[in-house]
A and B are shown apart, each in its own frame.
Chain A
Amino acid sequence: MNNPADLKYTTSDEWVKVNGDLVTIGITDYAQSQLSDVVFVEISVEVGDHLDKKSVIASLESVKAAAEVSSPVAGEVVEINDSLSQNPEIVNSDPYTKSWMVKIKIESPSDLNVLMDSAGYEVYCKDRSH
């Protein structure tokens, strides 16, 4: 599994990229491989929405499952990736760059403290595959 070192990770398999008070959220390589072919992505928030921690930001459907993506941080939605609904397959082919889902202006940086680094997440994934 590919887990870039500059990202942070959640136990529900989202990645988080931190840039000052702006965080970008998507789903991990592990998550996309577990879902298999993603056929539908719906971003369920709009720019300007205020989110609580753990709010659902997107719904995904693959050929065999449905899943939700939630935000590990509270804050305001500043940008959403509209192109995903047209090209849901890029969640499989490029989970870390093109298929970012939502950018959020974070309210409380301490929300990030509980997130894993890439090494921690790799162990977390390995433990589940046994």
Chain B
Amino acid sequence: MFIPHTDQEREDMLHAVGVKRIEDLFEAIPPKHRFPKLNLPPAMTEMEIMAQLQDLANANESTRDLACFLGAGAYNHYIPAAVDNLLRRGEFFTAYTPYQPEVSQGTLQAIFEYQSLICNLTGMDAANASHYDGATAAAEAGILAYHHFRGKRNKFVLSPAVHPHYRATLRTYFSGYKNIQIVGDENNNSQVSTSDISALVDSNTAMVLVQYPDFFGRIIDYSKLAEAVHTAGALLVVSVNPIALGLLKPPSTFGADIVVGEGQPLGIPLSYGGPYLGIFATKIDYIRKIAGRLVGESIDGNGKRGYVLTLTAREQHIKREKATSNICTNQGLMALASTIYMSLLGKNGMKKVAELCYHKAHYAAEKINAIPGFSVKYNTTPFFHEFVVKTPRPVQDINMHLLDHHILGGLNLGDYYQDLADHMLIAVTEMNSKEDIDMFCDVLAEVDHE
């Protein structure tokens, strides 16, 4: 065990603060809570503990054991073995991302490649080295918009078809700000169109947040909305699924100013909700207001190519309380995982994954729509790999029945939208075989006849 202080040093410190014993420092805590007796079982050997933990782990049902049709922001994709192998190399696998250019060219180059790939995928000019996850990236976009208008515009318009957790996180980030109006999704009603959103945009609006494909899987053309947002002088923020961008036009083509998103589908395991990867990219105009780290390419004293943190004056260690955001933490290792994933797949591989998701989801939607009692909602709007199904019985009942057949059913939308009771959000990826989908439909068909 590493003990940084000698007894003498401790004595000196206690003397300096004017107490006799370390215990005296805890006088403010009521005595009965001060040194609680821990009710722990007798010590076990490592082997015994591993066996016990394995038993606990075996009680979980994972997507390895189940056919998974649950998505809603986190998706079950195939992760090539090379991702984990490269990720665990000692040069990368550290607790804290090293940024000193003298010793960290590998890490810095990997981050630079990550940023470049994200820019390619989104059509934006600059991407940062990532945020925690899609929700915090969306919230940071709100903070950027607030600072871009120097707090003079205080209305934030959120489409209800943005992930409910992202909207909640944005509200949390803004909880310390004064006089902020967050509108558009107050009624938890899914039936809000882009023209309804558009109607809320005025000269006091800082930003409009939409999702692409939206939370219900729909692919919506936001070009008209983008025009309205820009006419009002506001910023359009688009939250994306990066896998969908293998197939869809990048958000830059319809006027996004900031693109955020959840990077988990890019080679990061579901892992019960994290660690994930927050994608954040903008047009060049907002580069000085981006939070977090940015890595740039430069030349060193010998004229050789090198990588270095750049535009650091915007960060909080220099700008202090005047910085756009206090967040500098990023998901360096997860960004690296996504970089390896995208590099392995390449442009054509990314497109292929997206196509597989798209076609399998459409096969599933068509089959489910044909089951008596079930119907696909919004079936005139194009969708990617997720869709909403009206169910004949409460979603939780159906999901219990599916679980008996080793199938993980879709999200119960009634938990998030008052008008979507008995509606299930179903996700299909390349991991779902035709047999899985057929079995899923067979079990759903049984549900109706119970």
Q: Which residues of A contact B (CB under 8 A)?
A: 39-40, 42, 44, 59, 61-66, 68
Contacts and interface: CB of A to CB of B under 8 A. Distances in A.
A40 B288 contact: yes
Contacts of A63: 313
B318 A65 contact: yes
Given A40-B288, A63-B313, 18 more contacts: A39-B313, A40-B313, A42-B288, A44-B150, A59-B322, A61-B288, A61-B313, A61-B314, A62-B313, A64-B313, A65-B313, A65-B318, A66-B313, A66-B314, A66-B318, A66-B319, A66-B322, A68-B322
- Listed from nearest, the 4 A-B pairs whose CB atoms lie closest are A61-B313, A66-B319, A66-B313, A66-B318
A66 B288 CA distance: 12
A44 B149 CA distance: 9
Nearest to A68: B322
A124 to B, nearest CB: 24
A40 B314 CA distance: 10
Interface residues of B, number: 7
Contacts of A40: 288, 313
A98 B46 CA distance: 72
A61 B289 CA distance: 12
Interface string B318-347: 110010000000000000000000000000
20 contacts: A39-B313, A40-B288, A40-B313, A42-B288, A44-B150, A59-B322, A61-B288, A61-B313, A61-B314, A62-B313, A63-B313, A64-B313, A65-B313, A65-B318, A66-B313, A66-B314, A66-B318, A66-B319, A66-B322, A68-B322
Contacts of A66: 313-314, 318-319, 322
Contacts of B314: 61, 66
A25 to B, nearest CB: 18
Interface of B: 150, 288, 313-314, 318-319, 322
Max chain B C-beta neighbours (<10 A), residue from A42, A44, A66? A66
B288 to A, nearest CB: 6
B321 to A, nearest CB: 11
Centre residue among B150, B288, B313, B318 by max chain A CB count within 10 A: B313
B446 to A, nearest CB: 63
B312 to A, nearest CB: 9
B116 to A, nearest CB: 22
Contacts of A62: 313
B48 to A, nearest CB: 56
A39 B288 CA distance: 11
Nearest to B289: A42
A59 B313 CA distance: 11
A62 B318 CA distance: 11
Contacts of A42: 288
A42 B288 CA distance: 10
Nearest to A46: B152
Contacts of A68: 322
Contacts of B313: 39-40, 61-66
A68 B322 CA distance: 9
Nearest to B152: A46
B309 to A, nearest CB: 12
A59 B288 CA distance: 11
A57 B116 CA distance: 35
A77 to B, nearest CB: 14
A64 B318 CA distance: 8
Nearest to B319: A66
Nearest to B313: A61
A39 B150 CA distance: 20
Contacts of B318: 65-66
Contacts of A65: 313, 318
A32 B322 CA distance: 20
A68 B150 CA distance: 14
Contacts of B150: 44
A69 to B, nearest CB: 12
A39 B287 CA distance: 13
A65 B315 CA distance: 10
Contacts of B319: 66
A75 to B, nearest CB: 19
A63 B313 CA distance: 7
A59 B150 CA distance: 12
A118 to B, nearest CB: 30
Contacts of A64: 313
A37 B8 CA distance: 49
A66 B312 CA distance: 10
A42 B150 CA distance: 11
A87 B287 CA distance: 17
A130 B2 CA distance: 44
A63 B319 CA distance: 12
A10 B427 CA distance: 63
A63 B322 CA distance: 17
A44 B288 CA distance: 14
Nearest to B287: A40
Contacts of A44: 150
